[in-house]
């Protein structure tokens, strides 16, 4: 972490209260519940930054959950914390050439990086696809090849919208994820059974970095 920063300089965002509840009880830490989906998240963050221009957060950190695309073996990510600073906005049907999206739209971005202390955690770093929905079928070989080629291993519904707003405001941004499930038909059920425990682990590790 930049020596002039600490966790108190960061705005912590979560899609819903359960992703930031352990953080939010600490009065010195700034948290924001942004809602589910790219549009809700982007509008909520933008509104917050416009209404609270001083002091501007030195960084924004999203604490969320992510599914992992099946081109990555489970043994490479299970038990780790996902870390991302590169984000795309690819719908799976677009990658499979079943729909068209205007070519002038910017569907990929990389945010201003920053670092932070997280002791005793092992990271799995990957690009994250910020989709408008949850993928409930196994992606086709064509889709998996595209994801693999661009090193996109994670899927989340809020992060691209947040990253875009942070970029527009020129605020460093990164995302930490509880890696809850493999993307595919059983993903939702796996998420339901794992997100709470993994979110608590992520939040408690962040809190352990606070000065005693």
Read off the pLDDT of residues 136-145 as tens digits, 9 standing for 90 and up: 999 999 999 9
Residue 149 has pLDDT above 80, yes or no: yes
Residue 120 has pLDDT above 80, yes or no: no
**171: closest CA among 7, 4, 9?**
9
| Structure confidence at residue 3 (pLDDT) | 45
Read off the pLDDT of residues 20-61 as tens digits, 9 standing for 90 and up: 999 999 888 999 999 999 999 999 999 999 998 888 999 999
Residue 126 has pLDDT above 80, yes or no: yes
> 119 — phi, psi (to 5°)?
-70, 150
| Structure confidence at residue 62 (pLDDT) | 97
| Structure confidence at residue 142 (pLDDT) | 96
Q: How confident is the model at residue 1 (pLDDT cuts 50, 70, 90)?
A: very low
- Domains annotated for the chain, with CATH where assigned, are 7-209 (3.40.50.1580)
Long-range contacts of 38-43 (CB under 8 A, 24+ apart): 38/89, 38/130, 38/132, 38/157, 38/158, 38/159, 38/160, 38/161, 39/161, 40/158, 40/161, 41/13, 41/15, 41/158, 41/159, 41/161, 41/162, 42/161, 42/162, 42/164, 42/165, 43/161
> How much helix, strand and coil, in percent to the nearest 5, is found in the chain?
35, 25, 40
Model confidence, pTM: 0.93
């Amino acid at each position: 972490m930049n020596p002039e920063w600490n966790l108190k300089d960061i705005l912590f965002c979560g899609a819903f209260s359960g992703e930031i509840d352990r953080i939010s009880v600490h009065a010195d830490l700034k948290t924001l519940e942004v809602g589910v989906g790219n549009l809700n998240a982007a509008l909520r963050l933008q509104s917050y930054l416009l209404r609270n221009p001083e002091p501007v957060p030195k960084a924004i950190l999203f604490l969320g959950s992510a599914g992992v695309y099946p081109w990555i073996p489970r043994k490479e990510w299970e038990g780790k914390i996902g870390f991302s600073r590169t984000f795309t906005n690819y719908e799976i049907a677009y990658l499979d050439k079943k729909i068209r999206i205007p070519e002038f739209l910017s569907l990929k971005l990389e945010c201003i990086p920053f670092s932070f202390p997280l002791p005793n955690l092992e990271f799995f770093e990957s690009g994250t696809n910020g989709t408008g929905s949850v993928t409930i079928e196994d992606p086709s070989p064509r889709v998996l090849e595209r994801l693999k080629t661009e090193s996109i291993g994670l899927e989340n519904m809020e992060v691209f919208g947040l990253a875009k707003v942070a970029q527009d405001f020129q605020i460093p941004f990164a995302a930490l994820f509880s890696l809850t499930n493999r993307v595919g038909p059983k993903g939702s059920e796996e998420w339901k059974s794992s997100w709470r425990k993994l979110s608590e682990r992520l939040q408690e590790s962040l809190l352990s970095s606070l000065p005693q």
